[in-house]
Amino acid sequence: MTKISFASHPFLLGFEQLDRLVERTAKSGNEGYPPYNIEQSSESSYRITLAVAGFRDEDLAITLEDSQLVIRGRQVDDSEGRVFLHRGIAARQFQRSFVLADGVEVAGANLENGLLHVDLSRTVPDTIVQTIEIKKN
C-alpha cells in the first residue's frame, strides 16, 4: 500500500521536509502536562502560555533548537524529612516542544503568577518577483 501525503501533490514541489515535520509532530506523544494555551495576539505575533505553578524561573529552561522551541522544567524534590498525610502535588519535570515556522522568532519570555508566557513574532518577508530568462539552444 502506498502512503499518500499532502506533499505528494504534483503542484507542491519541495515540501517533503514539511511533510516529515507534520508526521514527526503527530507522533510526538506529549502527555498533557503542563497545560498550555496558544493565542494569536496580532496578525504577526503569538503567545504560548504554560501553567507552571510551583516552578521558579531558575527551574525553567527555554531553548531554540533548529526551529524547534523546547521548554523544560525541573523541580527539586525537597520532601526529604517531611511526612505527608496526602501528597497530591508532586515535584515533576516536563518538556514541551513547539515547531516554529520560518520567520517566527522568540520575542521574549516572562513568568508571572505561575504562568510562563513566551512571546513569538513573525517577520513578513518581502515579496520578490523574478523574471526567468529562456535561453535559446
Residue pLDDT, tens place only, 32-87? 889 999 999 999 999 999 999 889 999 999 999 888 999 999 987 777 888 888 88
Given this model, what pLDDT does residue 7 score? 64
pLDDT above 90 (res 123): no
Q: pLDDT band for position 31 (50/70/90)? A: low
Q: Specify the residue for cell string 497545560.
A: 35
Q: CB-hemisphere CA count at 13 Å for 103?
A: 7
Question: Quick check: helix, strand or coil at residue 18?
Answer: helix
Question: Quick check: helix, strand or coil at residue 65?
Answer: strand
Q: Is the pTM of this model over 0.85?
A: no
Give the C-alpha separation, 80 to 77, whole Å. 8
Residue range(s) of every CATH 2.60.40.790 domain in the chain:
34-78+87-122
CATH of domain 34-78+87-122: 2.60.40.790
